[in-house]
Every structure is written in structure tokens, then in C-alpha cells.
Amino acid sequence: MLSTSFDHLDKRRPMKRAVLLLSGGLDSYTAGAMAKAAGYELYALSIRYGQVHAREIESSRGVARALGVATHLELDVPLSKIGGSALVGEGGIPKDRALDAGDIPSTYVPARNTVFLSVAMAWAEVIGAEAIVIGVNALDYSGYPDCRPEYLRAFERVAALATKAGVEGRPLRILAPLIDLSKADIIRKGLSLGLDYGLTHSCYDPLPEGRPCGRCDSCVLRARGFAEAGAADPITRS
């Protein structure tokens, strides 16, 4: 069953391993910090999929160091060769979009989370991890279908059927601790854990010097989250 908290973890047991899907953004950083605080040993996985905002991979390295992960694995999975998204270079990144429009934006990358979770599932089997941690959120997000709780529950069922561990009665858990939180709540949680959000990168279309554009969906959601949390965003301070 999809886990949205870490209440299931028996801290009297030896430390358990988890694969953290780490993008370098504030959501995956916060989810990883929550998992670490709950007692998981983290194995971070960052994927270069041909994203135009590849600056996030550099940020993922700093975040991985801050989290003290056991291993940080970077893989090339060139979804850009398939195309189908502004995030892999097909068309411009939309700016100033109404986030309540209800449509699926051009920044949706077909099957991205399914591919990422599948790679994480394979690595989890190899290292004996019992969980995958993913920082998806179903409230303050851009409308992507693979960020919904029902999707994650379905993938967890797939993992139970498709892996040796699952067949042997050790099903992989999908941990999505941010799924029901607003962006402001996520930021408040991270700040309570002492996270330095200056290490993170969220912008889909950074300026040449690397600063956020301030107008893409991700920038708008981040700015709104910090404002509602009553906190200053360290990457936009002058």
C-alpha cells in the first residue's frame, strides 16, 4: 500500500535501505530528508534524460552530499530521443501559465516517472533496498498524470508482481511523503529539518547565468510556496 508517512518504520530494527529519486529540486530534497530522519539509509538516483534544465543534475550532487547518501548514482536515460515534451527541447517552455487551467502542460514528459521508478526498482533489488522514495506532490503541481496517488499505488502493485523480491514476499514500498502536502507545507517541513534550499534548483528554463526565470510553472509554484510559508527563498535573494 502506498505510504505517505514513515509511521510504518520500526526504528528498533536495523537501518533499512531506500532508493531516493533525486532531481536536485526542493521536493526530492525534502522527501529524502524525511526518509533519512525516519531511519532510512539513502541511495540517491539522478537521471539525465535530456532535460533542457540539466542544471538540476549539478544541484542534485550538492543535495546528495547534504543528505549524506551512501551512494549517488547518475544515469543517462535519453528520453529526449523519444521527444514529446518541452522539457526535452520540443517547443518553448510555457511561461505565465494559469496553473488552475486543468490541462496537461507541454512540460509533461511521456512515461517519465514510470521509467524512473522502473530504473529505481531494478537498483533497489540489486542493493537490497526495501523502498523507493519519490518527492511527487498531488496538490501544488502542474497537472502531470504520473504524480497522482492512484498511479503510485498501481506501480507498487507492478513492483510486487515484477520482482524477485516481490514474488518471495518482500514487496517494494513506494514512499511518497509529500503527496498530500501543499508546496508551503513541504517548505515548512524542510525548514524544520534544517534544509538549505539554496542548494536546490527548480526552474525549467534557467537564465544563461543559471538564475531561475521566475515565470515557468515550477518557478511560480516555488515562489508561491515560499510566500505562503512566510519564508525567503535563498536562491532569489539579491
Map out the domains of the chain with their CATH numbers. 16-229 (3.40.50.620)
Residue 6 confidence class, pLDDT cut points 50, 70, 90: low
Grid coordinates given for 195: 534544509
Q: What is the pLDDT of residues 71-89, one digit of tens each?
A: 999 999 999 999 999 999 9
pLDDT at position 182, please? 94
Look at the block and give the residue holding cell 515560499. Answer: 226
Averaged pLDDT, 183-189: 97
Nearest-Å Rg of the Cα atoms of the chain is 17
Sheet with 173-175: list strands edge to edge: 71-76, 40-48, 16-21, 131-133, 173-175
Q: How confident is the model at residue 36 (pLDDT cuts 50, 70, 90)?
A: very high
Give the three cell numbers for residue 34: 524525511
- Answer for the pair 95, 133: CB distance below 8 angstroms, yes or no: no
Residue 174 has pLDDT above 60, yes or no: yes
Q: How much of the chain, in percent, has pLDDT values that exceed 70?
A: 92
CA distance 180 to 87: 25
- Which residues fall within 8 angstroms of residue 108, CB to CB, at 6 or more apart? 85, 142, 143, 144, 145
Residue 28: enclosing H or E segment and its boundaries? helix 26-37
**Distant-in-sequence, close-in-space partners of 157: CB < 8 Å, separation ≥ 6:** none
Residue 10 has pLDDT above 70, yes or no: no
In this predicted structure, the answer to whether residue 238 has a pLDDT above a threshold of 90 is: no
Which residue(s) pair with 131 in the sheet?
18, 173
- Mean pLDDT for the stretch of residues 209-229: 94
- The chain-wide mean pLDDT, for the chain, equals 92
Residue 61 has pLDDT above 80, yes or no: yes
Average pLDDT, stretch 112-118? 97
- Host H or E run for residue 133: strand 131-133
Q: What is the DSSP string of 36-97?
A: HHTTEEEEEEEEE---TTTHHHHHHHHHHHHHT-SEEEEEE--GGGT--SGGGTSSPPP-S-
Report d(CA 86, CA 25) in Å as an integer. Answer: 18
Which residue pairs, CB below 8 angstroms and at least 24 apart, start in 57-62? 57/24, 58/24, 58/201, 59/24, 59/25, 59/199, 59/200, 59/201, 60/22, 60/23, 60/24, 60/28, 61/24, 62/24, 62/199
Assigned C-alpha cell, 127: 542493493
